Structure 1
Amino acid sequence: MVREMIGKTKNAKVKSLPWLRRMTVLLVCLLLSEVFIFTVTYRHLNQSIQNERIDSIEQMSTLISEKLLLLRQTYEDKVRQAALVITSNHVQSLDQGQELLLAFEQLYLLAEDGSCISLTGERIVLSESEEIKMLKSSDEIRTDFCTVQAKGDFWVFMSPISDVTIDGKEFFGVIMLVDANSYAEAAATALYENQGASYVVDQQGVIELRPTESTANEYFGGYNLLHTLQEKKVDKRQILALQQGLEQQHKVESIAKIDGEIWRIQSFPESGGNSIVIAVPISITAVATFDGMRNVIIMIGLTLLTVVAIAAVWICYYVKKGQQIKLEQAKATLKSDFMNKVSHDIRTPLTAVIGLNDLLLHNVDKPDIVADCARKAKKSGEYLISIINDVLDMSRIESGKLRISHTAFDMKELLDTVIQLETYSSCKKALNFHLDCPDRIHRGYLGDAVRIKQCLVNLISNAIKFTPEEGGVTLTYRECQESVTYTRACFMVEDTGIGMSEEFMQQMFHPFEQEQSSLTSAHVGSGLGLAIVHSLVSLMNGTIHVESELNQGSKFVIELPLERIELSESKPEKGQSNELPEYMRGKRILLAEDNEINREIVAALLSGLGFSVDGAVNGAEAVERFLSSSMGYYSIILMDIQMPVMNGLEAVAAIRSSAHMDAQSIPIIALSANAFEEDVEKSLAHGMQAHISKPVNLEAVKKIFIQYIH
């Protein structure tokens, strides 16, 4: 039965595949057909639009020609009529002519001696004109463009007259001056929303009149139209045809590509040997049609996008709905895995502390066991703090809150400190641990010495931890001066330990990643060390890489760019040590701590050093005790930060602002579990002299007391 069902399923799949293929082929063919039809339709539509554009330009040229013809006929009729009035009425004086031709403006008479005078007696000087010379032997109305001295350019209409003597002077012609702008407004004008233009061009191709506000001037801005077309690399045959049309005064039509734009250029003859040349970019002569076509395409595209978007939304909805549970499960697994690892790493040393405490309680009468349990409990507590610090550092790095300082430090002193910190651990395993550093190095740099030490200590601790007994661990330091002010410092931590696999090195800088082997299983750790080192090096604009093979050892290389400085020479104070001087015995200390056990522990430690301690359970009580004390009663104040009623910062502000004689001089030291750099800065900014992080380090307390208690 099962075989039969499997066979049916296979047959169904086999049958479905040809159907799917046929459907896919059909859809592809349909899509190709639609693309072909759309292409053909678009080309046909584009050709129709082009034909429409050509017809539109034809109509425009006809309108310009008819407008000029009508304007010319109007002025020709006027000048003809004026000549007829003069000859038919046998005008013999200018006053008589003025009375008869009062309705005519800008009317002048041409004398046989070449002078030109108006009916009011105004004399003008015309530029030379072949048309005026031909007027003497002509019986037709003539027109030309002339310049009148001191008046400007005019469109001149001339009519011949014969046997006319006025005021004893013979005249052979009547002229009428028309402002040249009247002609220009009709002949040289911007077309199609200032994209095209019509130009007045002479027989040599010189542009005599052009519109002032057309963008076509950007294409035809030259002095000679034919030369401009040559510069624009228009087809020579088209230029030659236009040249012949201008010279022979006949109509020419052409389509030319100029600066990537298709232009329709058309010329037709005009009076006086000039031609009107119309130039229009085809792409903008049918804007409405293109807009309509574009709108249709946009609507089709929007419709398709809407359909696709709706389909995508539904697909995403169902995909997300199907993956939501998996995602939540993955998040829960990651969270659970994180909590399990952190819980394990914290509970391991915590269990040791509690267990050793039980041993202490059951063996209080055995000093050797008590001492051994106390030492082991302290080491477990220190390890617990290191785990917590790693988790907090990683959290602050990932949230972007960890800051890198930029302070002066001594490189030689930094390296010596690192070696001192790790010498004891290496000696316990009989390892050959040493520093490989040149005798002469530059010592002064600006950077974060604390974070550099943290990185090196982390790498060296790992190397010592995972190197078998009697192996070797080497810290190598080299420097490469890149400029006058910067050096690339290179730190190499090399060991002869168990090495790492290629798979692990791909993810070694991820949090909680640890290589699994018989040796690593014997050691505990948070798995955050390398991740923190990698992040800190990146924050310091450096690089880190590793070379390793299984059972062949490992080499970590850190390179950091550091700014060089010159350290000021300072001599160490004579007799400086952490031993408390005799004058401190009996000094009174005010301790503000809300946690009863912590208060008892710190008070006991300080009493053991010979101090007298007064306790306060919150900031308000600390302020009250200080204000009620006499001058010099308290030598120093240890102030917790997080306390009820009044916190430590508020208490410090109240003390500093009080009228007590010691308000400004008494040293106040922060004693807080807040150990980050900004917490230290906040304490100092609120009037404290120093900041001690919990758990309390007795040696650090001694240094502070020696510095501030006098």
Structure 2
Amino acid sequence: MKKRLWRVTILLAALLLSEIFLFIATYRNLNQSIQNERIDSIEQMSTLISEKLLLLRQHYDDMVRQAAYIITSNQVRFQDMETLLAFEQLYLLAEDGSCVSLKGEKIVLSESEEIKKLRTSDAVRTDFCTVQTKGDFWIFMSPLTNVTIDNKKFFGVIMLVDANTYSEIAATALYENQGASYVVNRLGVIELRPTESTANYYFGGYNLLHILRDKNVDEQQILALQQGLEQQHKVEFTAKIEGETWRIQSFPESEGNSIVIAVPISITAQSTFYGMRQVIIMIVLTLLTVVAMAAVWIYYYVKNGQQIKLEQAKAALKSDFMNKVSHDIRTPLTAVIGLNDLLLRNADKPDIVADCAQKAKKSGEYLVSIINDVLDMSRIENGKLRISHTAFDMKELLETVVQLETFPVAEKGLAFRLDCPNNFHRGYLGDAVRIKQCLVNLVSNAVKFTPEHGTVTLTYREEMESGIYARTIFIVEDTGIGMSEEFMQHMFHPFEQEQSSLTSAHVGSGLGLAIVHSLVTLMKGTIHAESTLDQGSRFVIELPLERTVLSELSPKEEPSDELPVYLRGKRILLAEDNDINREIVAELLDGLGFVVDGVVNGAEAVECFQNSSSGYYSMILVDIQMPVMNGLEAAVAIRSSAHMDSCSIPIIALSANAFDEDMENSLAHGMQAHISKPVEIGVLKKILVKYID
């Protein structure tokens, strides 16, 4: 199924890439097609302009030729001539160079080579001239032969046509004022331009050739245009001017001038391009929608499959965890219950009672260790476990580990030795409890999985790093059963255990190595293992620790089994809702020489305290979870009461909640300390000595 999904995904990806390439090619073809159509449109525009100018010129040529014929045929006075001609702006050119209208009005024309040529020509000519006081005109000229009017000889007739009549066709704005047509002479000088056109922004100079050079147009194109203007032939090319694509066409017009059309294709075809893009965008969006839908379908299909597998894995892991923890808890619990039955049946036999009690104590301690492992793992995964940074004695730490493992080593007949330098630095800052927990865990595993007469070695080394920091190295080696390569790949995962004939005989939650790995990581250290089946294992922990001097360490408190005499007879108020737990703690305190008043909830504890005289109670021990009023509420009520001892009496929490935040919560509610259940007699003794005056 997975392979089929990958094949479908690859096929869809290939299809998508093909469509993208097809889209790019289509877009380029459309772009070129639109540009070609615009070029054809400009060609048609130039033809239209040329034809319009030709028709207009022929019209005025005919008119001036007709006027010349009438004048030549009817040589009369000016006043009689006016009645014969219906032409406006008609003037006669005299031999003396003057120019006079049929009404006798004289005008002055600017210099014109075409007028000079008229004297020796027999054809109609045209030019552009400026008439003083009248403006610019497009003039049409026809020669006269042997014409004398009012005793004055004339050699030609001129018809003045407003220059705007010409420029409206020859020099005009095109394509919604984006392009323009210009009248340009042989030298490239722009003779006429439209008054309003965006093209004037690009071609606002005097000489068109110079303008194109300033715009960095290809020199070969400029030279081709220059040659076309000079030789009066057609030129056309496409050029980039200030980021826009322009189509420039030149065609000869008359009397040495040319019409140059300049149109920005990329702008004038903008609406077409926009429409095309809109269609393409719609196609692309539709395609992307289809692809997105397919991707979403694939994603949810895969995710759903992964989610099902994840849920199945979680369920399997949870089931496996519950089975392991249930098995590990039931094993020592079964021992405790069974030993208790033996005690009841052999109450009159001291040897059996002592043996059963000792074994029951060991089973209970193991049961607590399993629960502590589960709690530690939970705190680590929730990010609630904190690493302390206090001074400790490295030599004392190593000796404690050896002492804790001496008895189980002796029971199995193993050789256990500590390998460390004769002289090494003892004072460090760190979490001695967690370092000890890691080493005890590794050594316990080594002892557990090493057959009789084997060897377990704890090695310690230190290497100085920068400044006051050292790299401390702890190595735990054994000659045990070793580990397989498969197990070593995930041995630091929770609930993992190597399977063998030897390990099956030992219980364990499979959390030990996971906890060690997490603790070492939290202390910014590293751990790695080397192992060979049937030859043994080697675990190496490296921790960066800050060095300090031994004199800065707190003096070690020597344990004492006997309490100070002044504590005997002190009265303690105990609040515990569980009858058996209340009885156990009361018996422990009674055995130490204290007088105990027991109550079953926080409300009774507050009432007893408020009804007591000053100094009557030396300490209050309260469980946290109780009915009516819990321990935290009771502590707050006691501290806020009007009793003379409300602020000074020590209040100690007794609770099965052993997290750091539980201890902090107890202190925040006015308590002095927090003792975790089950209560250890040694811890209880220290609290009693510390807080009772």
Superposition TM-score, scaled by structure 2 size? 0.67
Amino acid in structure 1 at the alignment position of 2:416: F
Match of 1:360 in 2: 343
Partner SS state of residue 507, structure 2 = coil
Residue 466 of structure 1 deviates from its aligned partner by 1.2
* C-alpha distance 464-37 of structure 1, shift in aligned 2 (>3 A): closer
Q: CA deviation at 1:516?
A: 2.5
Map Cα deviations across residues 278-297 of structure 1 (whole Å, 9 max, x no partner): 76757967432332332342
| Aligned equivalent of 2:461, options 437, 459, 478 | 478
2:284 — aligned with what? 298
The answer to whether the aligner puts 1:521 opposite 2:494 as a matched pair is: no
Would the alpha carbon gap of residues 199 and 624 (structure 1) be closer, same or farther in structure 2, given more than 3 Å must change? farther
- Aligned residue in 2 for 1:404: 386
| Displacement after TM superposition at 1:687 (Å) | 1.4
CA shift at 1:521, angstroms? 2.7
* Residues 1:436 and 2:440 are matched in the alignment: no
The verdict on how the C-alpha distance between 1:257 and 1:278 changes in structure 2, with shifts beyond 3 A counting, is closer
Distance 1:525 1:190, change over 3 A: farther
Deviations 1:604-662 (A, max 9, x none): 00100111111111111111111111111111111111111111111111111112111
Partner of 1:49: 34
Q: Is the partner of 1:661 in helix, strand or coil?
A: coil
Does the 8 Å contact 2:392/2:553 carry over to 1? no
Instruction: Give the SS at the match of 1:659.
Output: coil
> Is the Cα contact below 8 Å between 2:393 and 2:550 reproduced in 1?
no
1:682 to 665, 672, 692: 665
Aligned AA (2:391) = F
1:656 aligns with 2:639: yes
Asked whether the equivalents of residues 244 and 264 of structure 2 are also in contact (C-alpha less than 8 Å), the reply is: no
- The aligned counterpart of 1:549 is 532
- Please name the residue that 1:198 is paired with: 202
Whole-angstrom distance in 1 between the partners of 2:398 and 2:47:
95
Shift of 1:698: 0.3
Q: Where does residue 636 of structure 1 map in the other structure?
A: 619
SS at match of 1:483: coil
1:465 is aligned to 448
Contact 1:246 / 1:274 at 8 angstroms: preserved in 2?
Answer: no
1:251-306 CA-partner distances (Å, limit 9, x unpaired) = 66324599xx884464879xx99999776757967432332332342254156448
Q: 1:30, 1:634 → 2: CA distance? A: 86
Q: How many residues align?
A: 547
Q: Which amino acid aligns with 2:279?
A: M
SS in 2 for 1:426: helix
Aligned equivalents of 1:580, 1:402: Cα separation in 2: 36
Q: Name the SS of the counterpart of 2:376 in structure 1.
A: helix
* Cα distance between partner residues in 2 of 1:548 and 1:358: 44
Paired residues for 1:76-95 under 5 Å? none
- Match of residue 253 from structure 1: 237
| The 10-residue stretch of structure 1 (509-518 or 660-669) with the greater mean CA deviation from structure 2 | 509-518
| 1:369 CA displacement | 1.0
Shift of 1:583: 0.7
Shift of 1:513: 2.3
Mapped partners of 1:409, 1:196: distance in 2: 87
Select the residue among 264, 269, 273 that pairs with 1:287: 273
Quote the offset at 1:240 in angstroms: 6.2
DSSP 3-state at the match of 2:552: coil
Shift of 1:31: 11
Give the Cα–Cα distance (whole angstroms) in 2 for the partners of residues 503 and 651 of structure 1: 54
Hey, what's the Cα distance between the residues in 2 that align with 1:708 and 1:237?
104
* Alpha-carbon separation, structure 2, partners of 1:267 and 1:681: 90
Query: C-alpha displacement at 1:428, in angstroms?
Result: 3.0
> The residue matched to 1:507 in structure 2 has which SS?
coil
Q: Percent identity?
A: 65
Distance in 1, matches of 2:556 and 2:521, equals 38
Equivalent runs, 1:68-107 vs 2, <5 Å: none
Q: Which residue pairs with 1:348 in the alignment?
A: 331
Cα drift, residue 340 of structure 1: 2.0
C-alpha distance in structure 2 between counterparts of 1:29 and 1:661, whole Å: 86
* Structure 1 position 543, deviation (Å): 2.6
Q: Which moved more, 1:676-685 or 1:34-43?
A: 34-43
What letter corresponds to residue 292 of structure 1 in structure 2?
Q
Q: Cα 1:510–1:257, aligned 2, differ >3 Å: closer, same or farther? A: farther
Q: Say whether residues 1:225 and 2:215 are aligned partners.
A: yes
Matched with 1:121 is: none
SS of match in other structure, 2:279:
helix
Matched position secondary structure for 2:202 = strand
Closer/same/farther in 2, CA of residues 139 and 236 from structure 1, 3 Å limit: closer
CA distance in 2, matches of 1:254, 1:246: 17
Does the CA-based 8 Å contact 1:408-1:444 persist in structure 2?
no
Residue 665 in structure 1 maps to residue 669 in structure 2: no
- Aligned letter for 2:527? I
- Change in 2 beyond 3 A, CA 1:297/1:602: same
**Which position in structure 1 is the counterpart of 2:598?**
615
Is contact 2:430-2:546 (8 Å) kept? yes
Rg: which structure is higher? 2
- State how 1:412-451 maps to structure 2 within 5 Å: 412=394, 413-439=396-422, 441=424, 443=426, 445-451=428-434
Q: Which amino acid in structure 1 is aligned with residue 34 of structure 2? A: I
Give secondary structure in 2 for the equivalent of 1:554: strand
The more displaced of 546-555 and 274-283 is 274-283
Are 2:674 and 1:691 equivalent residues in the alignment? Answer: yes
Q: How does 1:4-83 map to 2 (within 5 A)?
A: 44-52=29-37, 54=39
After superposition, the Cα gap between the structure-2 partners of 1:378 and 1:517, relative to the gap in structure 1 and judged at 3 Å, is same
* Runs of 5+ unmatched residues, structure 2: 1-11, 49-107, 114-128, 134-172, 180-197, 252-256
Letter matched to residue 412 of structure 2: K
What is the rounded CA distance, in whole Å, between the counterparts of 2:21 and 2:601 in structure 1?
86
Query: Could you tell which deviates more after superposition, 548-557 or 436-445?
Result: 436-445
In 1, Cα distance between the equivalents of 2:458 and 2:28? 76
In 2, Cα distance between the equivalents of 1:450 and 1:606? 28
Aligned partners of 1:592 and 1:639 also within 8 Å: yes
* AA matched with 1:51: N
What CA distance in whole angstroms lies between the structure 2 residues aligned with 1:506 and 1:563? 32
Q: What are the Cα deviations for residues 344-364 of structure 1, in whole angstroms up to 9, with x where unaligned?
A: 111100000001001111111
With 339-348 and 413-422 compared, the bigger mean Cα shift is at 413-422
Q: Are 1:590 and 2:576 counterparts? A: no
Gapped regions of structure 1 (runs ≥ 5):
1-26, 64-134, 141-157, 163-185, 209-222, 230-234
Equivalent residue, structure 1, for 2:62: none
Distance, in Å, in 1 between the alignment partners of 2:377 and 2:450 is 26
Instruction: Choose from 586, 589, 607 the match for 1:606.
Output: 589
What is the Cα deviation at residue 572 of structure 1? 2.8
Pick closer, same or farther for the CA change 1:474–1:315 going to 2, 3 Å.
closer
One-letter amino acid of the structure 1 residue matched with residue 274 of structure 2: A
Does the 8 Å CA contact 1:198/1:276 hold for their aligned counterparts? no
In the aligned structure 1, how far is the partner of 2:240 from the partner of 2:625? Answer: 85
Q: Which amino acid aligns with 1:254?
A: T
Instruction: State which drifts further: 283-292 or 698-707.
Output: 283-292
Go from structure 1 to structure 2 and tell me whether the alpha carbon gap of 1:295 and 1:370 turns closer, same or farther (over 3 Å shift): same
C-alpha contact 1:198 1:277 (8 A) present in aligned 2: no
Tell me the amino acid that sits aligned with residue 36 of structure 2: N
- Describe how 1:124-163 pairs up with structure 2 within 5 A: 138=111, 161=132
**In the superposition, relative to structure 1, how do residues 402 and 252 fare at CA in structure 2: closer, same or farther (>3 Å)?**
same
Match of 2:184 in 1: none
Whole-Å separation in 2 of the counterparts to 1:195 and 1:603: 106
3-state SS of 1:490 partner: strand
Distance 1:136 1:655 in 2: 123
Distance 1:506 1:608, change over 3 A: same
